[in-house]
Amino acid sequence: MGGRVHKSAESAIENSIGSVSYGRIGVNPVHCQMRANPTVFIVDDDPSVTKTICALVESEGLAAQAFGTAEEFLGAHEPTSPACLLLDVHLPGMSGLELLEKLNAEGVKLPVIIITGDADAALVARIRQAGAFEFVDKSTAFRRGVLIDCVWRALFLDADNQHERGPARGQSHF
């Protein structure tokens, strides 16, 4: 379960559970704090993007589950452990924005990171209004840890929210 944690995640860990030298103990403290292995759900219809994101997420010691459509995600998602959703806007069938709005309407408190390659100012405003946790442009997502830093922040948020909600989080919202 060992893994590299970025500086922003290190700060969050130290602030929430104290200073830990996880390099010496061989355990990623985020897994200890969350009490369950976090999962990063990825919904993108481009297999090369999905493969790259899965490899990045797994290199951090996190579980990745990829889906090609919003409908596939809805059919398989069961919120039982800390998680976040990396969501492309442009998908076949239900769009990423429509999925985000559906999750919000149903009260699903999963942090959603929108990732797309072609967003104008109006789309970014709609994404923020719909309650996305973060928006990341695909052209900058893999530079200097931009995407993985967003993922870690989203996972910490969901772990905190899950702790506040208690055991009901494990029940399906769909």
The pTM of the full predicted model, rounded to 2 decimals, is 0.74
Indicate whether 50 pLDDT > 60.
yes
Q: What is the pLDDT of residue 32?
A: 41
CA distance 151 to 144: 13
* pLDDT tens, residue by residue, 67-96: 999 999 999 888 777 899 999 999 999 999
Instruction: Classify 36-167 by CATH class.
Output: alpha beta
- Burial (CB < 10 A; 0-12, 13-18, 19+), residue 15, is exposed
Check residue 43 and give its pLDDT. Answer: 97
What average pLDDT is seen over the chain? Answer: 77
Does 35 or 1 have the greater pLDDT score?
35
Residues 6+ apart with CB under 8 A from 117: 137, 138, 139
Answer yes or no: are the C-beta atoms of 90 and 44 closer than 8 Å: no
CA nearest neighbour of 111 among 166, 172, 162: 162
Strand runs labelled E in the chain: 39-43, 63-67, 83-87, 112-116, 134-137
Q: For residue range 107-165, what is the model confidence (pLDDT) as tens digits?
A: 888 999 999 888 788 988 999 999 999 999 988 888 878 999 999 999 999 998 877 76
